[in-house]
Structure 1
Amino acid sequence: MTGASPPPNPTSGPVVWMRKNLFATPSDTLLTFVGLLFLAWILPPLYGFLIGRAVPPGGTVEQCRVENVGACWAYISSEIDFFIYGFYPSVEYWRVNIVFAMLALLIIPLAMPKVPYKRINAILFIVVFPIASVILLSGGVFGLRYVPTEQWGGLMVTLIISVVGICLSLPLGIILALGRQSSMPIIKSICVAFIELIRAVPLITILFMASIMLPLFMPSGVTVDKLLRALVGVTLFSSAYMAEVVRGGMQAIGRGQYEAAAALGLSYWKRMGFIILPQALKHVIPGIVNSFIALFKDTSLVYIVGMKDLLEAVKTKNDAIEWASPTQAITGYIFAAAVFWMFCFSMSRYSQFMERRLNTGHKR
């Protein structure tokens, strides 16, 4: 009988993970220690400012004015309504809350692949939800008080512009990408001119044109709503970039796919709708979501047309004298950054989930 062999080395666990990912080579070990030193240098001050020396919600302004105080979260909790609703009448907040609830109830099941009744859900989100939202937010009908868009603001405006821009820029971008690859010279020239013109100027210029120049071309006495100007400008700007993302995905599809679809006798729109676009959009999911994230962050530029989005609402309240303190402004900007990060990070994680789900060709 041979003697007992030693047990095999473990292949899982925290120690194995650290040895493989943090201390595999001398350079990895050096970088790990440098990273630990950086965290030891940056984390204690951050903890002290954000938590340790911070004034919690419910505190007073006198506490925020103490020397060497941390973040004034009492200021955020006191002004949270303005950051979310802007100048919207407080007695009508329930209308905005209903719109928020409808958005969550429709978009969450739509984003979950295994939830049934996707077609009904999509119709409700694309057709019913916009009409109901306009009626609830604007009012003026069914006994609802009329609230002009000049009183809208805060997170509400940020979400409205981003959701509308995302929902419209993707189909517009697909149409522009198809038009740019069209064999008809007029359609191709129009799409190329539009894409190159929009991409050649920054978004702030487009919003400035929508705010200052557009009314000059309208008939006398006709005005364009400020929110509508922002929606049109952001949507057109994002659709031009989306068109190039989609076109890149279409060019990545092998020529044999086009020829095979044509050999089946499919029409142009069936070839694109059933064969080419599903593959192209799957390849460019990171680019599409990147455009969505950029659009969401670019909503902070709508102050050009006089709208107070989340960042502009924070900037407005940072000048409030009643909450004046050494950390008032930085606390407000940290709050705005946290909100933007939460939405952008969620979109990024969802795009990774969809990549893994649709990556059927070569599983990782």
Structure 2
Amino acid sequence: MVFVNYVRGLEAPQLPPPANLKTIRHHLRENYFSSLGSGFLTVVLGTLVLWLAWRILGFAVVDAVWAGNDRAACLATEGTTEGACWPVVIQKFGQWIYGFYPVAERWRINLCAVAFVAGLVPMLTPSAPYKMTNAIYLLLVFPLVAFVLLTGGNFNLSPGNYAGVICLASLIAAALPLAIFGVDEGTKRNSLGLALAGASLIVWGSSFIARTDITVFGISFDSGLLSIASGFVSLWVVLSDRVARTSRPFRIWGVGVTTLLCAMLLIDIDFGLVPVETAQWGGLTVTLVVSITGIAASLPLGILLALGRQSNMPAIRIMSVVFIEFVRGVPLITVLFMASVMLPLFLPPGMNFDKLLRALVGVALFSAAYMAEVVRGGLQAVPKGQYEGATALGLSYWQMMAKIILPQALKISIPNIVGNFIVLFKDTTLVLIIGLFDLLAMAQTGLRDAAWATPVTAPTGYLAIALIYWAFCFSMSRYAIFTERRLHTGHKR
């Protein structure tokens, strides 16, 4: 068989360029009129959307009233159509934002908002530098500054408050060497420190519950000072071990304890601000405080619960499963009622937590249970080979999770995590059940003003509130889409 190699001697004929496939006509044909049924649905749904848009636009803009001092300006006269009554929104807008916060002190809320945005925008901008410094500012500095500004500070903490922190810190410090190096390698010094720390915590706890000083052989000792002294002794015993105090967990513990003590000292200082109780808060301020606190607390708690549910230790796994399934089995209203009504029953006599603080704890724990299942779904989506590869490299459990597994799991779970954040932001309206006036509750209160009683007052107010909620939720959704595209998840088909 003879093979003949054919080589073209002439150039191939020039063909016309392909048709532009990015025209509006091509887009409509491919997506909206690809078939007879698709075209029919496009026409019907398009007509319905245009009709709804025209009705809303006519009510909110075309026929709306933009100026007025009372209800007379918003009443429809003969020959006119009733439209939105925007003067009532303009007049009540300050109350919607600040609630019952004193007018002369509203600059404190404005300053908190500016400080939060100044830290949030660089944190959400990928090209902005100093991410770690910014994170420390948002997680440690800003909450303290905002707390002092909003409440006024000057809480006059007693020695017993510091004693509780020092005793608990000493107990954790004494338990760290045993957790790091194991029970068999734990020295007698660490065991002695653990015993002293436990004793100091028992002394403080018993005196705190009884609200009395400690009497030994007829001599009365101040419980706070005695607890602080015993806590410092246990800390000195534990920190005398050079190997233990130079470990990374000890450094993290030291930063946490120092930050907590500095925070207590900060809120104990009198800055000359007028005290404002949380009962005077309301409106968008309460909505943002509850939602931001819930979002910031639910994600780390949810990650820990998800890891606990997949733990090999039965006690940790069972406690995580029980907590998650119990919280997910009850509505948020029930959790808020329990936090508001039943939580004081478990506290010592005479001790009470602020109503807003109870709501923050309830919302954070409730959202953490749902966040745990979202994160667990991401953990299960990570291939098993990633776990095996991390183990083969000799990484510890926490190193494997922090550097290999969790980044992939959280990247996969971004849509569901942001979905939980959006649901949490909207669920803040339920705090009205326990007597907190959020944005929606404050708007409903303002719309009942007889001076603005018209048939269009309530629809206008609810339309304005819906636009505010939509702006926040849409912003979170769009940023989530931006983050997904930037990280190139690679899970799209």
Give the TM-score taking structure 2 as reference length: 0.71
Q: 5 Å matches for 1:166-177?
A: 166-177=295-306
1:263 to 1:40, Cα distance in 2 relative to 1, 3 A: closer
Higher relative contact order (CA closer than 8 Å, sequence separation 6+): 1
Q: Is the 8 A contact 1:57 1:73 kept in 2?
A: yes
Secondary structure of the structure 1 residue equivalent to 2:276: coil
Structure 1 counterpart of 2:373, from 233, 237, 244: 244
Give the letter for the 1:75 counterpart.
Answer: V
Equivalent in the alignment of 1:61: 71
User: Within the alignment, does 1:26 sit opposite 2:36 as a pair?
Assistant: yes
Asked whether the 8 Å contact 1:211–1:304 carries over to 2, the reply is no
Query: Do structure 1's residue 235 and structure 2's residue 360 form an aligned pair?
Result: no
Q: Larger Cα Rg: Structure 1 or Structure 2?
A: 2
Task: Sort the Cα spacing of 1:224 and 1:6 in 2 relative to 1 into closer, same or farther, 3 A.
Answer: same
- Going from structure 1 to structure 2, the CA distance change for 1:20 and 1:293 (only over 3 Å counts) comes to same
Amino acid at match of 1:12: K
Q: Is the aligned partner of 1:301 residue 2:314?
A: no
Partner SS, residue 109 of structure 2: helix
Query: Which AA in structure 2 matches 1:207?
Result: L
Amino acid at match of 1:31: L
**1:287 aligned to 412, 416, 439, which one?**
416
Structure 2 distance, partners of 1:116, 1:5, is: 51
Alpha-carbon distance in 2 for matches of 1:4, 1:233: 72
Inter-partner Cα distance in structure 2 for 1:5 and 1:229: 74
Partner residue, 1:134: 147
Residue 340 of structure 2 is aligned to residue 211 of structure 1:
yes
Does residue 315 of the first structure (1) align with residue 325 of the second (2)?
Answer: no
Whole-Å Cα distance in 2 between the matches of residues 233 and 39 of structure 1? 40
* Partner SS for 1:308: coil
The residue identity in structure 2 corresponding to 1:10 is N
Moved more, 16-25 or 253-262: 16-25
> Which residue, 392, 402, 409 being the options, matches 1:273?
402
Amino acid at match of 2:333: I
Residue 72 of structure 1 is matched in structure 2 by 85
User: 1:153 corresponds to which letter in structure 2?
Assistant: G
1:81 aligns with 2:97: no
Maintained 8 Å contact 1:57/1:76: no
Q: Indicate if the aligned counterparts of 2:58 and 2:83 stay in contact, CA closer than 8 A.
A: yes
Which one of the candidate residues 109, 115, 123 is aligned to 1:102? 115
- Distance change (3 Å), C-alpha of 1:276 and 1:6: closer
Q: Is the 8 A contact 2:67 2:73 kept in 1?
A: no
Question: What do residues 243-292 of structure 1 show as CA deviations (whole Å, max 9, x unaligned)?
Answer: 01101111111111111101111111000000110011111111111111
SS of 2:349's equivalent?
coil
Gaps of at least 5 residues in structure 2 are 1-12, 154-269
Quote the Cα distance in structure 2 between the aligned partners of 1:188 and 1:311.
39
- One-letter code of the match for 1:154? G
In structure 2, the partner of 1:47 is: 57
Find the aligned partners of 1:309 and 1:360 in 2 and give their Cα distance. 37
Tell me if the contact between 2:150 and 2:276 (Cα under 8 Å) persists in the aligned partners: yes
> Deviation at 1:4?
10
Measured against aligned partners, the alpha-carbon deviations of 1:208-237 in whole angstroms (never above 9, x if no partner) come to 111222222222222210110110010000
Q: 2:131 aligns with which of 96, 101, 118?
A: 118
Q: Which letter does structure 2 place at the counterpart of 1:32?
A: T
Quote the Cα distance in structure 2 between the aligned partners of 1:360 and 1:329: 44
CA distance, structure 1, for counterparts of residue 54 and residue 333 of structure 2: 39
Give 1:11's aligned residue: 21
Structure 1: distance between partners of 2:144 and 2:469: 27
Larger deviation: 182-191 or 217-226? 217-226
Question: What is the Cα deviation at residue 58 of structure 1?
Answer: 5.2
Q: Equivalent residue for 2:106?
A: 93
AA aligned opposite 1:312 = A
Alpha-carbon distance between aligned partners in 2 of 1:356 and 1:296, rounded to the nearest angstrom: 24
2:76 and 2:456 map into 1 onto residues whose CA distance is: 10
> Does 222-231 or 49-58 show the bigger shift?
49-58
CA contact (8 A) 1:58 1:77 kept: no
Amino acid corresponding to residue 47 of structure 2 in structure 1:
L
Aligned to 2:266: none
> 1:158, 1:300 within 8 Å by CA — same for their partners in 2?
yes
Preserved contact between residue 178 and residue 247 of structure 1 (Cα < 8 Å): yes
Instruction: Give the CA deviation at 1:6.
Output: 6.7
Corresponding position: 1:262 with 2:391? yes
User: Aligned ranges for residues 196-207 of structure 1 at < 5 Å?
Assistant: 196-207=325-336
Contact 2:411–2:489 (8 Å) recurs in 1 = no
- Shift in alpha-carbon separation, 1:290–1:363, aligned structure 2, 3 A: closer
**Whole-angstrom distance in 1 between the partners of 2:489 and 2:456:** 50
Closer, same or farther in 2 for the Cα pair 1:62/1:185, shift >3 Å?
A: same
- Give TM-score, length-normalised by structure 1: 0.95
Residue-pair matches, total:
362
Is 1:225 paired with 2:238? no
CA-CA distance at 1:311 after TM superposition: 0.5
Provide the aligned C-alpha RMSD in A: 1.8
